[in-house]
Amino acid sequence: MQPFDQNETIVKLNTCHMPKKLFWIALSLIITVFIVLTTLTIYFGIHSQTQTIVQYESFSISTTTRDYNETTISTESTTLPAPSRPVERIPTDLKPELYQWTITPDLVAETFIGDLYYTFTCLESTNKLILHMLDLNTDNSTIAIVNSSSSSMPTFHSWFYDDYNQFMLMNFTSNFQPKTIYTVHIIYSATIDRDLEGLYLSDYVDVNGTSRTFLTSQMEPTYAQSALPCIDEPVRKAIFRIIVKHDPSYAVWTNGELEQSKTLIDGRINSYFAPTLSMSTFLLALIVAPKSDFACRHDRLLSSKNIKSRVCGRIQILPQLVYADEVAFKTLNFFNQYFDIDNALPKIEHFAVPDFGGGAMENYGKAYYFLFVGLLIYAEVGSLFDENTGSTSQQQYVTIIVAHEIVHQWFGNLVSPAWWDELWLKEGFANYMETVASDFIEPSWKQDELFVIEKIFSFMQADSMPTSRPISDETFQQGIRNYLKIFSYNSATQQDLWRYLTEATNNTIDVERIMAGWTRQAGYPVVEVNRIFKRIDENIQQKRVNSVLIITHQPFNLFPSTAQQKIWWIPFKYFDRTSFELSNENPVIWLNTTSTHLSITTSDSDWIIANPNYYGIYRVKYDSQNFHQILTQLQTDLTRIPPIN
């Protein structure tokens, strides 16, 4: 296989209205996911953003070899001194441009051989090349610099492995020169497990009752490094050219579009896929499955954009993917218009994979649905719907899941989080916009109300809380459009998002200042409303709760804290029986102190309801008299109080 031609041009890619009922939770949900996903970040064992690299003064390498499918592959064991400081992020002196990756999977032996041509641009002079690598076997004889855009080309010297940070550190005899493009060639091997991480095997039963195996993938968050040496960080995007060498009885799906297939002398097939757009490594995807059992159908073009959309899976379940295909088609059109940025992918395939081994819930839960550029992989149970026998709840379930993955084509693919501690920049928007799309597809489901009940309450219990917005629907939409356009095919931080939302308001509102309390401190607020009767005065007190259990409308703090009281910007609204009957809305009052006095003109015999229709995301505690007045109203006529409240 010849490396990528350095003279070849590298691929470079340079009115809907949100329903009013939905927007009040826009920024709310975005931040709601923040702390929950931060917890997941800890679970995945991802470290901080420190860019420091350890200076290794000495190392030793011992080489052992073993026969691997008729190819001699060596494994390296390395002794390293204790690092003087932590190594956590790969330095930015070398910029990834292209991964030309040839993979030869053996599903019987449960192994694969990888052949990688990694192309990068030198930004700062260095004689070290560092890539992430996990459970891959290689040695000195299979690593070489094979191309350079200048006359000078460093020679590979040696490499060693940093097990703690999963770094492959390669040393060269001379420095890489700035503004120069290089290509390094690495051959390696690995086993394929059934652990639902990286490249993995999964089993299913075919129509004849025979157990069979296929290969699929899950690279998020940092499992791409177990498939190929790479810079496995979301901000370090590059193009992928993928070639799969496989048995002719198997079909292959990956991010790019199949360009051609060639039959080799030994009868195997090389399937060549078109280069992808510039993307993060966690979006890499690959499926290798028996042709006799898996196929695609319902090919269609998305409006005039020439984007191919189709569904794939086991042949016998393809009729049950028709609805998912319709949802995907409608949702993609909707978001193309809403975001005012067309999806630039030549194809999108929705692939339903069989349920995972033994039906184990922990396995299934981990492999719920995966997002990749051009290839979206779902568990079958999350994508199948039989129009003759399926229930409305099943239909809603498929709609939400497909819409969630479609919106990731913008939030997650087009613009990725710079690091995993801001994963909510893609998941928060996906969780919110799936509801917007679902409401567009079928308004009668009232997904905006279900959203509050099914998601926001559960997130609150998980100790994650945002506030609502001070800007109009149109302003929010314009801010999001600007954000997506500026950071297309790049990565962004929360400060970038706040800046473009602020600019959309003509700088009349400091969005970052309002949102800082929600993203930079744990817990969520409980607003206590105490009415002082016989006077037109209402005392509103705000409390911080790190973790609560709501029993009798009282907060329960599982982890008492003596930390200094922190304040949120809270959009406070209320209504009473009179304003409800007249359909009047009281103006928003922003709370940014621990105590606020508000004069009202409500009769003592009237109840008041704070936070109507869950305008903001916070709990409300009432005084006993007002609380009993609300109870009396509910017992008399439920229709006078919104169902969400």
Average pLDDT over residues 366-395: 76
Mean pLDDT of 596-625: 78
Give the length of the chain. 645
Cα 335 to chain center, whole Å? 17
Domains in the chain (CATH in brackets) are 15-49+293-519 (1.10.390.10), 83-290 (2.60.40.1730), 524-640 (2.60.40.1910)
- Burial of 332 (C-beta count, 10 Å sphere; 0-12/13-18/19+): buried
Q: Is the peptide bond before 221 cis (omega within 30 degrees of 0)?
A: yes
pTM > 0.85: no
User: Which own/partner contact pairs does 127-130 have at CB distance under 8 Å and 24+ positions apart?
Assistant: 127/154, 127/171, 127/172, 127/173, 127/174, 127/175, 127/176, 128/169, 128/170, 128/171, 128/172, 129/94, 129/169, 129/170, 129/172, 129/176, 129/184, 130/53, 130/90, 130/91, 130/167, 130/168, 130/169, 130/170
pLDDT for 26:
53
DSSP strand pairing (71-79 vs 294-302): unpaired
Percent of the chain residues topping a pLDDT of 90 = 34
For residue 17, give the amino acid letter.
H
* Tokens (6 digits) for 514: 């309002």
DSSP state of 453: I
Tokens read off for 582: 């007249």
- Tell how strand 415-417 and strand 490-492 pair up: parallel
Q: What is the pLDDT of residues 208-238, one digit of tens each?
A: 999 999 999 999 999 999 999 999 999 999 9
Which three-class secondary structure string do you get for 488-549?
Answer: CCEEECHHHHHHHHHHHCCCCCCHHHHHHHHHCCCCEEEEEEEEECCCCEEEEEEEEECCCC
Q: Which residue has the higher pLDDT, 53 or 340?
A: 340
Across the range 506-524, mean pLDDT stands at: 76
User: Which H, E and C letters describe 76-130, residue by residue?
Assistant: EEEECCCCCCCCCCCCCCEEEEEEEEEEEEECCCCEEEEEEEEEEEECCCEEEEE
Mean pLDDT highest for which of 140-154, 181-195, 289-303?
Answer: 181-195
